[in-house]
Amino acid sequence: MLLISSKRVIALGLALSAVAITGCGDDEETTSSASAPTESAAAAPPEGKKITVGLVTDIGGLNDRSFNSLANKGLEDAKSELGVEGRVITSKSNSDYVPNLTQLARQKTDLIVGVGFLMAEAINTVATKFPEQNFAIIDFPQAGLKDTPENVKGLLFKENEAGYLAGTLAGLYAEKNGIDTISSVGGQKIPPVDGYIAGFQAGAKEASPGIKTLNAYSQDFVDQAKCKELALDQIDRGSGIVFQVAGQCGLGALDAAKEKDKLGIGVDADQSFLGDYILTSAEKKIDIAVKNTIMSVQDDSFMGGTDEIFDAKSDGVGLGEISAAGQEFAAQIDEVKTKIAAGEIDIPTEVK
Amino acid sequence: MSTPAPPAEAPGSTTAGRLSGFLRSGGVITPVLTALLAFLIGGLVVALTGKNPLTTYQAFYEGTGLSWLLPWTGEREFAAANLQSTLILTTPLILVGFAVAYAFRAGLFNIGGQGQYSVGAIVAVYVGSSLPDLPGVLHILLALLLGALAGGLWAGIAGLLRATVGANEVISTIMLNYIALWIGVYLFGLMGPLQNDTDPSLPISNDIVMDARLPVFWGDAELQGLHVGLFVALAVGIVFWVLLNRSVKGYEARAVGFSPDAAAYGGINVGRTYVTVMVTCGLFAGLAGAIDVLGWQFRVATNDIQGSQIGFLGIAVALLGRNTAVGTMLSALLFGALLQGTNVRNLDPAVFDPALAGNLTTIIQGLVVLFVSADVLVVYLYRLRRRRNREEEAAPPGVAEAAS
């Protein structure tokens, strides 16, 4: 008996280790499909100077349907519309950032884009070493880099404006359908996340003054279970619309909304692909930011050492597709957006 | 048979002899065949995706930077950088390979290399990022030592459980991996006690202070040049060989690996050997974690602890290296080169989709483990059956044998 059980134990151990060894490479399967559009668009005439662009993703991978995939879309658009050459390098760990950026810099890539604030330190190091190359970093201010290299541009977004628009829609919908509570699930209490949530709450209260807003942080951007748990709790406490601001983790929050027949609001990218229950998405148009930056390098107007802020006015933030349930408010949303663009609404950036 | 010799010294007549014979005779040829077969099947997979396996493997080879060693071929700058990366990856693989190999020679499966590696990295990053006034060399030595010790203690738990209550080390080391992982996530996570002081939004440790970083002897120190940790790993290779083949501890470990019963009969304290072997393995793996942190990573993020596979790769390294010093080092170089060669940043998407290449590495790894562990498992099960058969036989023959 004892021998048999120990035999099983060994087999189990080897099986487990094999799973552990083989289970690591599953996050990048969509890269091939992501690069497919290039070929179909290859016929488009190149309009400007032939430049090379490199994109380094963070460890979320290209199929995050968020920052990385949006940045990649911006690059793909630039490839087909502007005739630039592009290359995407995905990172598997935090220590991949420096060699990935260095590789592109050594290849004399004209513009190197780092996706996400996690890459700030690596961008700082590599940009300082290669002052001839242009760099851009998404979601991080240039002045925040340790050596403030003059060849780096920060691409920032007014999350609070996108959040405000989403909150307005949520408030209008809640008012009409008798929902008295809405909620948000944030990944961490950091400025970009809180910008969304603060805007969301302000927008909802403006549209539906008596509405109750719940908010919670998962302290995680990856583990969907954590966000799902928080969202389920919020739904238990009466929330009818859940706004996720937690990347991959937040997909769990949206899943909770789906499960309980509530509505969800996506973040960063247009997440309407998840289903009809997605009321809308508060978007950072990273694709537009990347494409515009590529364009500026192409026509020599790229200015390192500064930040560019993408807001409702420049159409750098906004709402994604609005579901059928929310369509009746689309006109009102457009009005609010015009007001925001005109600077008529004061939107908070911090969650109280 | 005039003197009572331990069964281990009678090749062929016992399982122990078979195992040692297996390790010796298959020593060079089987691992090479295993690797070739894995690459062959990997090549078939490449062909199935419609790409040319030869040009793909050629591209992998170029990505490894091994062409730098042949100065008359190709360019130098990229090859140098790639070879540095390959060797940076090889360094910890050598050590975690030893961590698995040494246990294996003592008849133990150390699946806990990953946890021991993480614990070593956690302690090393704590030591290396605090005590800023300590002189550089002392600081490095202290961080390496404490990192290795932490790994040793961690693995020692599994050894102790095996020795005292007979808990199978396969299970306990796997479980200890998870404990190490979540301890790390807790320590460096948001609002964790060791989270960095500068940015509360990042789940990451403090940086290793400049003085405590391992010197870089080839390439740019700021752009991940090759650090001296490689020499530490090579030196440990000599230690490993001496320990295993020329020391009392190593003899005891091997004797227990051949047959615990015979070892006990020969006067070896089997329980204590289990503990010392596991502690030794943990020292190797913990040192690997410490070297990675002090040599090129300089900080530990929670998602690195969660995503790291290096300790598991050590199993494949040790199995392919047949648990010998030289074999493990060569096998570590192969896997280091494979990891670097299939790296996304080096592959031209026109030759082979980089995203698929990463999976191809995994396939080749898996095949190696499968092929090697298949025959190791055959021997292991054979050994169990023999032992059971022996027990089922009446005691008298054994007594007679011992008496003769």
CB < 8 Å to A100, chain B: 344-345
For A65-84, the pLDDT digits (tens) are 788 889 999 999 999 999 99
CA closest to B346 among chain A residues:
A103
Distance CA B16, CA B8 (A): 5
Cα nearest neighbour of A194 on chain B: B201
pLDDT given for residue B404 in this prediction: 39
* Residue A47 clears pLDDT 70, i.e. is over it: no
Contact list in B for residue A26 (CB cut-off 8 A) is: 359
Residue B379 near residue B30, CB atoms below 8 Å: no
Q: Are residues A95 and A171 in the same domain?
A: no
Q: Distance between CA atoms of A255 and A227, rounded to whole angstroms?
A: 9
Sort out which chain A residues have CB atoms less than 8 A from B363's CB and list them: 22
Interface with B, mutate which of A2, A4, A17, A29 (most B CBs under 10 A): A17
For each of the domains in chain B, give its residue range(s) and CATH number, in order of start.
Answer: 7-403 (1.10.3470)
> Is residue A223 pLDDT above 70, yes or no?
yes
- The answer to whether A95 contacts B109, with C-beta atoms less than 8 Å apart, is no
Domain count along chain A: 2
Mean pLDDT of A192-206: 94
Q: Report the mean per-residue pLDDT for chain A.
A: 86
Q: How many CB atoms lie within 10 A of CB B83?
A: 21
**Residue in A closest to B305 by C-alpha:** A93
CB contact under 8 A, A90 and B354: yes
CA dist., res. B390 & res. B382, Å (int) = 12
pLDDT category of residue A1 using cuts at 50, 70 and 90: very low
Q: Does residue A101 sit within a domain?
A: yes
Q: Whose structure tokens read 């011992």? A: B402
The pLDDT value recorded for residue B377 is 62
Identify from B170, B174, B381 which residue to disrupt to test chain A contact, counting A C-beta atoms within 10 A and taking the largest count: B170
With CA atoms as reference, the chain B residue closest to A39 would be B350
CB atoms within 10 A of CB B325: 23
Of B220, B356, B384, the CB nearest to A7: B384
Q: Which residue of A has its CA nearest to B63?
A: A103
Confidence bin at A15 (pLDDT 50/70/90)? very low
CB contact under 8 A, B301 and A94: yes
Would an 8 Å CB–CB cutoff place A118 in contact with chain B? Answer: yes
CA distance B218 to chain A (A): 15
The answer on A165 and A68 residing in a single domain is no
- Residues of chain A with pLDDT > 90, as a percent, come to 70
Based on the fold, state whether residues A322 and A190 are members of the same structural domain: yes
A140 and A51 in a single domain? The answer is yes
Q: Cβ contact (<8 Å) for B387 and A94?
A: no
> What chain B residue is nearest to A106 in terms of C-alpha separation?
B78
Across the interface, do A13 and B170 touch by the CB < 8 Å criterion?
yes
* Chain B hits for A191, Cβ within 8 Å: 201
Per the structure, the complete domain to which residue A51 belongs is given by 44-158+287-310
Q: A218 and A139 in one domain?
A: no
Residue A296 lies in a domain: yes
Same domain, A193 and A301: no
A31 touches chain B (CB under 8 A): yes
Three-class SS string for chain B?
A: CCCCCCHHHCCCCCHHHHHHHHHHHCCCHHHHHHHHHHHHHHHHHHHHCCCCHHHHHHHHHHHHCHHHHCCCCCCCHHHHHHHHHHHHHHHHHHHHHHHHHHHHHCCCCCCCHHHHHHHHHHHHHHHHHCCCCCCHHHHHHHHHHHHHHHHHHHHHHHHHHHHHHCCCHHHHHHHHHHHHHHHHHHHHCCCCCCCCCCCCCCCECCCCCHHHCCCEEECCHHHCCEECHHHHHHHHHHHHHHHHHHCHHHHHHHHHHHCHHHHHHCCCCHHHHHHHHHHHHHHHHHHHHHHHHHHHHCCCEHHHHHHCCHHHHHHHHHHHCCCCHHHHHHHHHHHHHHHHHCCCCCCCCCCCCHHHHHHHHHHHHHHHHHHHHHHHHHHHHHHHHHHHHHHHCCHHHHHHHHHC
Instruction: Based on the fold, state whether residues A255 and A293 are members of the same structural domain.
Output: no
Is A277 within a domain? yes
Closest CA to B283 of B254, B323, B315, B240: B240
Quick one: A76 and A173 in the same domain? Answer: no
Q: CA A176 → CA A171, A173, A208, distances in Å?
A: 9, 5, 9
Tell which of B176, B216, B223 to mutate to test the A interface (max A CBs under 10 Å).
Answer: B223
Residues of A in contact with B387 (CB under 8 A): 3
Q: Which residue type is seen at A83?
A: G
- A347 belongs to a structural domain: no
Interface of A with B in 265-324 (CB under 8 A): none
User: Which of B85, B220, B388 has its CB closest to that of A3?
Assistant: B388
Does A119 lie in the same domain as A141?
A: yes
Q: Which residue has the higher pLDDT, A21 or B158?
A: B158
Cβ neighbours for B157, distance < 8 A, ≥ 6 positions apart: B172, B176
Q: Beta strands A152-157 and A307-310: pairing type?
A: parallel
CB-CB: which of A17, A94, A98 is closest to B315?
A17
Contacts of A10 in chain B (CB under 8 A): 109, 170, 377, 380
Average pLDDT over residues A283-295: 94
Which A residues 219-238 touch B at CB under 8 Å?
Answer: 219, 222
Measured between beta carbons, which residues in chain A are less than 8 angstroms from residue B303?
59, 93-94, 222
Which of B100, B111, B345 should we substitute to test contact with A (largest number of A Cβ atoms within 10 Å)?
B345
Choose between A17 and B325: higher pLDDT. Answer: B325
Question: Using a CB-CB distance cutoff of 8 angstroms, which residues of chain B are in contact with residue A24?
Answer: 307, 309, 362
CB proximity list for A350: less than 8 A, separation 6 or greater? A194, A198
A83 in a domain, yes or no? Answer: yes
Question: Is residue A240 located within the same domain as residue A328?
Answer: yes
> pLDDT tens digits for chain B (404 residues)?
343 434 443 343 344 444 444 554 455 777 787 888 888 998 998 899 888 899 989 988 988 999 898 888 777 888 999 999 999 999 999 999 999 999 988 989 999 999 999 999 999 999 999 998 999 899 999 999 999 999 999 999 999 999 999 999 999 999 999 999 999 999 998 788 999 998 877 889 999 999 999 999 999 989 999 999 999 999 999 999 999 999 999 999 999 988 889 999 999 999 999 999 999 999 999 999 999 999 999 999 998 898 888 999 998 899 888 889 999 999 999 999 999 988 878 787 788 887 777 788 788 888 877 877 666 666 666 667 777 888 776 555 444 444 43
User: A58 to chain B nearest CA, in Å?
Assistant: 12
Q: Which of residues 51-70 of A touch B (CB under 8 A)?
A: 59, 62
In a domain, A15, yes or no: no
Cα of A319 to nearest chain B Cα, Å = 26
Q: What is the pLDDT of residue A27?
A: 41
Residues B223, B228, B234, B237, CA torsion sign: negative
Q: How many CB atoms neighbour CB A296 within 10 A?
A: 17
Nearest-neighbour CA in chain B from A190: distance (Å): 6
Q: How far is CA A197 from CA A160, A162, A253, B98, in A?
A: 7, 10, 15, 50
- Touching B: A residues 77-116, CB under 8 Å: 87, 89-90, 92-96, 98-100, 102-104, 106
Contacts of A40 (CB under 8 A, 6+ apart): none
A25 touches chain B (CB under 8 A): yes
Q: What is the pTM of this model?
A: 0.82
- Whether residue A306 is contained in a domain is answered as yes
Interchain proximity B355–A90, CB inside 8 Å: yes
CATH number at residue A124: 3.40.50.2300
- Do A105 and A175 have their domain in common? no
State the pLDDT at residue B170.
92
- CA diameter of chain A: 79
Min Cα distance A175 → chain B (Å) is 35
ipTM exceeding the 0.85 mark: no
Residue A104 has pLDDT above 80, yes or no: yes
The type of residue at A301 is: S
Yes or no, beta carbons of B312 and A28 under 8 Å apart: no
Same domain for A130 and A189? no
All residues of chain B having their beta carbon less than 8 Å from the beta carbon of residue A129 are 220, 222-223
Asked if the structure places residue A23 within a domain, the reply is no
pLDDT at B395: 53
A188 and chain B in contact, CB less than 8 A: yes
Taking residue A350's Cβ as centre, other Cβ atoms within 10 Å add up to 11
Question: How close, in Å, is residue A299 to chain B by CA atoms?
Answer: 27
**A-to-B residue pairs, Cβ atoms closer than 8 angstroms:** 139
- pLDDT tens-digit map of A81-92: 999 999 999 888
